[in-house]
Structure 1
Amino acid sequence: MLEIVCALVVCTVTVGIARRCGIWTLPSFAAILFAVGYSVRLVLLEQSGQDVIFDAFTVQDSEFTEMAGYGMLAFFAMCTGMVIVSLAWKKYAASRPAAVQPGTYRPGGLLAAYLAGATVQAYLLSSSFGGLGAAITALSKRVFVGESFALAANLTPILFPLLLMGIIQAKRQGSQKLHALALAVFVISLPWMAIVNGRATVIVAIWALALAYFLAFRKKTKAFALLVVAGAALATSVLGLAWRASSQTGRPFVAEISRYMGNSIYISSESIPLFDHARVGMEYASVYGSSAETSVLNAFSVLIPRSIWADKPEFLPQILGERLKYTELSGLPAGLLGEGFITGGWLGAVAFALIFGLFIGLTNRYLIRSMVLTPLAAWGVFMAVNTALVGLRTGAQGGLTTLQISLVALPLVMAIGWATKVHEKKASVQRAPGSALARPRRVTS
């Protein structure tokens, strides 16, 4: 019963945040992810009678109750962090000067740059796996050993902001055909991004596009848009899981769709299993004890190649996969709350949630001032949404590594944006009649 009460409270607060901040904002995004991935997920597991997580860890009734209570505390801590930033920002924001209007960018050039980068990405994957078909097959199964495709996968933080800018600039300039073409490219790119970077990337892409529209045009959200986004997220979860199951088992894709379609809500919560990941953190702490260095500190080694640092430590998902599931084929994330629990029990989980809320609040205040997208703002939209999802779903370590990789991509995004900018010629100085500049010079002999 406590699980249902906690879930209702979290969902009610989430609706309040969406109404207060606007649906297409980072606070709403974080609250919705938490509500679906933790509270709703908890109730679905408890009501279905399932007590095994990741086919390895059991959850007792007392643990369900414990996780429900502390999970709600963590949710309130996250919301508190957002509120603190909102209150502290008011005086500072009032004294800031208005944002400078940026220049105009060629949407056709941005779209061409995106398509060229996607071609390079496909070529790199083909080279790594011995063919594009082999790459798609391996990535669909999410089981790959020995292949290095980090460079290709990490092109997404460069490519997506370019596509995002192209869509918004085409809309702003009134080019309906180019705007429709850019949106078509966006829709076609969603399955590709899901294969290369995972199903969660589709959620990031859709929400980032909706957030960009909101920031650029300040239009109120229509009910139809909410239904489209919710349907797209649901379809991504079901179709993505069906595709993976079909690739791994060899069963027909259509048959897998029909098998998963009847349980779509459960599957949607399974794609963001914050509750399950928290249980992973509890299991690790009970066996190996608390350890802060395996979480946050290791994140800052992501940009150092293993060829330079042979003893570079593994990241937490790999450590958990090897120590808890005894496999090197796939990682096992602990999520934000699971990593917090590994660091300092439930107190650590609540502290991680508070810090995460502060980050969400600060980033959201920056984005609100991005009335018009520049290369920096486009990258900021993608980085903010992606880091928020990865931080909650994968953990603090995952969020920090994602942020660092995105920072590396920023200079190239801005360089390509500058190349597509319409550089206007400086107008000659017009001298007003009667002014000192307009007076003729006296010629002396």
Structure 2
Amino acid sequence: MGYFKDAPVRHDSAIDQSTVTSPQMSKFRLSPSTETDTAHKFHVRKATKPAELRKAVSFRYLAEGAANVVYEMVPYDVYAEDLDDAPFIFYELGSDDTKVCRSLDVTSKVLRVCKSSPKLPSGLSIKNNFEDVIKPLFQSGFEHYLMHHDHIALSDSAGSELKRMFKNRPLKAAKGSTASLDTATGLLLPNVASVPGHTLTIEIKPKWLAQSPNAPEDAHRCRTCAVRAMFHHKQEKTKKAYTICPLQLATGNSDLIQIFISGSLKPREDGSWKVEGVPDRGVIVAAMTAYLATGPGHALLGHIRELQEQHDPHGVLDLDPTDPDVQHNLRLAMTLRDCSLFVTARWHDKSNSNSSEATPPPTPTPGSKSGTLTVEVESKLGDLDFKSPEKLEDWKEKERELVSQGWYAGNTPGEECGVATKPGRK
């Protein structure tokens, strides 16, 4: 969905890390996550007392998808010229007292609010499915890649403020949408946005990391490459630059991964960079490439691929409609095929005495030298909402279209699909 791509906000999570030091790359190292699995119940209301203002935050519309809207929180500025910028506090209901959260603790998160629709799950449903259905799939050493979800209650005043901002969002973001919001509750998630001068984040959609079980035996495209080709044909568009075949991503093709990442970090058409203050893009690209091709990111992608294959061994066209367990597993597989991987590079140059204390520098690794640039790479998985059974017919229809119209059989020059380039293929 791309919630976090360009928002210049702080990123604090400590995650599984891969370290590359300029000019030499050092060993990968693991560090435990600081996020806990403790379930918290947060509430949000308008700040009403002067003493609360130093812990208050204001909301900012950040992005939206088909099912939800994402807001960031910034420290409330009592001297701000915008009088409509209302102050709100987050507080936690404990067994003995009420604990007001520091604004610093809140601004490292984003608030996700669901759109109102009978076909869309509620925030509580998303939270429960994440805890009960999704999280158990990652308990074998991969749980720290998941984003911790906090389900929070929103006051009427907070809900009104979120609706006001949603109504007044940029026309480009609205795209003619007339959706409304369910502002009774929301989800608090880690903010993995790029921080100018400190971190750079790219979003990767791994998609189908293994071929579709329903693909023809003589296929020259994987499922994702087939969908892309069909979409570009229907939209009369040329191939989108800097995509990568999921099969090539999963197998750790370092050459193609490097091209993909390098392309993702290129400047906008007007020449400006999405994130300013990146010291050495070559080192950043090398660090991210190593992380995904041979490091912890590669292991994570392999785990997701195995889960996709385990939960959908026969394909949607050969699904047993009478077996609820089979349908449940297919929904899980499709959830994993639509997740997002947020890969973040965090750097520190010891020769730069003006480094901000807001983002602590990483501990130098063995072999690093004073004045060299140290880059750490970390990642988080997002967009893991458990898919609705109502999507089953849509999945079947798309798969039939791919097979019957020959999109698996095509082979566009330069496509670099992992199926077509497999040794022994003609």
Larger radius of gyration: 1
**TM-score clears 0.5:** no
- TM-score calculated relative to the size of structure 1: 0.22
Relative contact order, higher structure (CA 8 A, sep 6+): 1
Greater strand share, structure number: 2
Greater helix share, structure number: 1
